[in-house]
Amino acid sequence: MQVERFVPAEPAKVWRVLADGWSYPLWVVGATHMRGVDEGFPAVGTCLHHSVGSWPLLIKDRTEVVACERERLLELKAHAWPTGAGRVRIELRPEPGGTRITMHEHAESGPAVLLPGPLQQALLVPRNTETLSRLDSIVRNRP
C-alpha cells in the first residue's frame, strides 16, 4: 500500500528526522516507546528497539534497516510478534519547493499476509497517511 505527501522542506531536513531513531515513536503511528537505537543507525543491519501498543499491553518490537541511501531511501523490516513482519519503504524525491515523500508498506510474514489486499489497504492507508502527517509536522517545526 502506498501513500504520498509533499513537505515544503529540502530532502536533507526530512532525512535528519528519518535518521534520528529516537524520534521514531513521535511520527510512526503505533510505536509508543523507544528502548534503544543501534549505534550507526540508519546503516543497513542496524535496528530500532521499540514497543507498540498501550500499557500494559505492550509488544516489544524491533525494526531493522534493510536498505539505506542518504537523503533518498530508507527501507525497514518491522517485526511485531505475534502479527508477523512488514516491509516499509520510504522514498524522498526533491521537487520545486520541497520533497515528495512516498511510503510503501506491505505484510511480509505472519497472519497479516492472509488479509485480502483491500482490507490491508483499508488498515494501512489511513495509518500511513497519519504517519506522514506527523513526519511533516516534525520536519516543519524542528529547529
Mapping DSSP onto H, E and C, the string for the chain reads: CEEEEEECCCHHHHHHHHCCHHHHHHHCCCEEEEEEECCCCCCCCCEEEEEEEECCEEEEEEEEEEEEECCCEEEEEEEECCCEEEEEEEEEEEECCEEEEEEEEEEEECHHHHCCHHHHHHHHHHHHHHHHHHHHHHHHHCC
How much is the pTM? 0.92
Average of pLDDT values for 53-77? 92
pLDDT at 81: 64
Ranked by mean pLDDT, which of 34-48, 51-65, 96-110 comes out on top?
A: 34-48
Residue with cell 528502548: 35
Q: Which domains does the chain have, with CATH numbers?
A: 2-141 (3.30.530.20)
Q: What percent of the chain has pLDDT over 70?
A: 99
Average of pLDDT values for 63-75? 98
Task: For residues 135 and 114, give the distance between their C-alpha atoms in angstroms, rounded to a whole number.
Answer: 29
Question: Of 6-10, 64-68, 73-77, 139-143, where does mean pLDDT reach its minimum?
Answer: 139-143
Task: For residues 44 and 68, give the distance between their C-alpha atoms in angstroms, rounded to a whole number.
Answer: 6
CA distances 79 to 24, 32, 94, 143, Å, are 15, 15, 30, 32
Contact 80, 113 (CB under 8 A): no
Query: Residue type for 81, please?
Result: W
Could you give phi then psi for residue 90, rounded to 5 degrees? -115, 120
On the question of pLDDT at 16 being above 80, the answer is yes
